[in-house]
Amino acid sequence: VTPRYTPLAAGLPASVPFVGPEAQERAMGRPFRARIGANESVFGPSPRAIAAIADAAAEAWKYGDPECHDLKVALARHHGIAPGNVVIGEGIDGLLGLLVRLLVEPGIAVVTSRGTYPTFNYHVVGFGGRLHAVPYHGDRTDPAALARAARETASPLVYLANPDNPMGGFHAAGIIRDLLAALPEGCLLCLDEAYADTAPAAALLPLDVADPRLIRMRTFSKAHGLAGLRVGYAIGQADLVRAFDKVRNHFGVGRVAQAAALAAIADTDHLARTVARIAAGRDALAELARAHGLTPLPSATNFVTIDCGRDGEHARALVGALARRGVFVRMPFVAPQDRCIRVSVGTDADLAILAEALPDALAELRG
Ligand SMILES: Cc1ncc(COP(=O)(O)O)c(C=O)c1O
């Protein structure tokens, strides 16, 4: 007896959004030497977070606090807002799914950028939404086009990652303000600020939790180095934040994860040190790219997107050639941005491995 899938589920493509480096390692039969493809933080979590994880480990038999109270209060204090303006979830990815569930049903138009961070799209399609993906403009997302598409489709939801993944650039806060002003009545902007910690202050609007048109997503996966624990949060108007309670997985953020995030938020020194190392690492990656005739794009994130000067086929071949040399990187998946590869900031050791592998891989492609 086959399960009676809903027509929506039966019609979904059987695609896997992310083929992880682990799957590639299993296929290759050996581990990568440099894991610099998933925009994780190779600098790791705060030692205080690691200690909190160790302390919480023996308590892992207990469910986590379903209200994430202590973490929520700490985040609210950190941002100078009320706890009622914060919802915590299983990373931004989890929160995106909940947001889409709240706003999208079959046939609803949802606006995003073609080739941007893709998890949002999987959620939209999973709830039967119709994606309107507007092209990038000169390797950047195009806020004016997003607003136009939202008006044309009467969409209730627009997604924008700022800074952007996979291209790494950002729009200044004023541009985001203009985008908000240009949205149709009743349309919500989901501003994915996964890279807020590495972004210049100019990229970030002041927090205005009274604005019902805006929800902002942040994560512990990037500069805080806790990607494997799955903690993110959204900041928004209290009514919208409360709506998440109707659909969220109440024990989704585990006890150990909550303890780790709580310790991480308190360790501002570790965060500052990590952000400085990321900035230095970006410069080193850019220099390495240039030394081999490639063009690094400006980045406000923990990765550098590198224009390889040809097309998607060439960049894909380079990603493969690097993988054969033990280096895990990824690339944008839509033309013309797919002429680039995307390399996360690594340790000095990672950089040395890349420095050795890159010229060799490029030479192989030249034949
Ligand atoms: C723009 C963007 N949003 C969200 C995420 C995922 O964040 P989380 O680990 O909090 O789900 C990423 C990770 O690469 C990202 O680049």
Q: Rounded CA gap, 345 and 38, in Å?
A: 10
How do residues 211-231 score in pLDDT, each as one tens digit? 999 999 999 999 999 999 999
- Phi then psi for residue 158, to 5 deg, are -125, 135
CA dihedral 332, 43, 257, 69 (to 10 degrees): -100
Confidence of residue 2 (pLDDT cuts 50, 70, 90): confident
Ligand 1, closest atom to CA 301? 16
Report pLDDT for 219: 98
Strand, helix or coil at 198? helix
pLDDT of residue 80 exceeding 80: yes
CB 305 within 8 A of CB 168: yes
pLDDT of residue 58 exceeding 70: yes
Q: Rounded CA gap, 269 and 284, in Å?
A: 23
- Average pLDDT (167-175) is 98
Ligand 1, closest atom to CA 164? 1
Q: Quote the ligand 1 centre to 93 CA distance (angstroms).
A: 6
**Beta pairing partners, 189:** 158, 214
CB 308 within 8 A of CB 315: yes
Tell me whether strands 340-344 and 303-307 are parallel, antiparallel or unpaired: antiparallel
Report pLDDT for 18: 75
Q: Which of 35, 36, 92 to mutate for ligand 1's pocket (most ligand atoms within 8 Å of CB)?
A: 92
The amino acid sitting at 54 is A
Q: Rounded CA gap, 249 and 95, in Å?
A: 10
- Phi then psi for residue 28, to 5 deg, are -80, -20
pLDDT of residue 16 exceeding 80: no
Q: Which residues line ligand 1 (CB under 6 A)?
A: 39, 91-93, 117, 161, 165, 192, 194, 219, 221, 227, 232
Report pLDDT for 1: 66
- Average pLDDT (19-28) is 94
CB atoms within 10 A of CB 250: 12
Report pLDDT for 19: 84
Q: Quote the ligand 1 centre to 92 CA distance (angstroms).
A: 6
- The percent of residues in the chain predicted with pLDDT above 90, rounded, is 96
The amino acid sitting at 357 is A
Report pLDDT for 13: 87
pLDDT of residue 234 exceeding 90: yes
Ligand 1, closest atom to CA 230? 9
Sign of CA dihedral 281, 282, 283, 284: positive
What is the residue-wise DSSP string for 261-305?
A: HHHHHH-HHHHHHHHHHHHHHHHHHHHHHHHTT-EEPP-SSSEEE
- The percent of residues in the chain predicted with pLDDT above 70, rounded, is 99
Closest CA to 12 of 100, 98, 152, 128: 128
Ligand 1, closest atom to CA 232? 10
Q: Rounded CA gap, 338 and 226, in Å?
A: 28
- Phi then psi for residue 289, to 5 deg, are -60, -50
Nearest residue (CA) to ligand 1, atom 7:
92
Residue whose structure tokens are 């900041």:
235
Q: Quote the ligand 1 centre to 194 CA distance (angstroms).
A: 6
Q: Rounded CA gap, 195 and 222, in Å?
A: 7
Nearest residue (CA) to ligand 1, atom 12:
194
Q: Rounded CA gap, 145 and 96, in Å?
A: 22
- pTM for the whole thing? 0.97
How do residues 263-302 score in pLDDT, each as one tens digit? 999 999 999 999 999 999 999 999 999 999 999 999 999 9
Q: Which of 87, 120, 197, 219 to mutate for ligand 1's pocket (most ligand atoms within 8 Å of CB)?
A: 219
- Average pLDDT (240-254) is 97
Nearest residue (CA) to ligand 1, atom 2:
194
